[in-house]
Structure 1
Amino acid sequence: MDNQYVLIKFKGKSHSVPLSDFELNSVSSNERGMGAETGYEFSYCGDLDIELNRQIYEYPVGCFNHKLDWQTSPNVEIIDDKINYESFFIPNDEYDK
C-alpha cells in the first residue's frame, strides 16, 4: 500500500498526498437485498490547509462498490488518483478462513 497516493495541484505546485494522510470513517448504512451498504468518507487529514475528500461505498459487506467524485477546496486540482479502494475491504469468504 506504500505506493498509493493522490497527486494534486495546490498553489501552483504538485503535491503527492500519501494514503497515510487520509482517514476512512463510516457515515451511512442502508439495508439492501444482499445486506448492508455502508458509505464512508475518505478525508484528507494532513498538513496542507485544504479540503480533499470523497465518498466510497461498500456493498455487499466486504466488497468495494463505487466512489463519488472528489470534493476539494476551489484551489485544488486532482491530477491523478493511485488509491486502490478495493484494498480497504475484505470479501465475506475471507472472514471464514
Structure 2
Amino acid sequence: MTSRITDDGTDKTSAPALPVPASNAAPEPYQKHFKGKGASKFVDPCAEASKASMNCMNLHDYDREQCLDYFQAYRDCKKAWMEQRKADRRAGKAVD
C-alpha cells in the first residue's frame, strides 16, 4: 500500500473501500454452502460481514468505536442465519 498525507495532515493509505455495513446484514442462502456436503460448523454465510468488520478494524488501527456498525451488521447476519436454519429444521426441510 502506498501512503499519502491529506490536507489536514493525516496519513491515509490507499486501501479498498469498505462496503456499507447494512449490505452485509443478511446472510447468503446457507443451502448453497451445504449442497452435497452435509452440515459443517465451518460454513459461514456471513463471511463477507466478518471480513468487512476485520477490514474496518485494520483500516482504523483497531479502534472499535469506528467499526461498531460493521460488528452490528455481522451480529444481525448471524442472528438471521441461525433463525433461518432453525425454521427450516422445524419445517423438516433437508439441506441436501
**Structure 1-normalised TM-score?**
0.32
Compute the TM-score of the two structures, normalised by the length of structure 2: 0.32
Greater per-residue strand proportion? 1
Structure having the higher Rg: 2
Q: Give the helix-richer structure, 1 or 2.
A: 2
| Greater relative contact order (Cα < 8 A, sep 6+) | 2
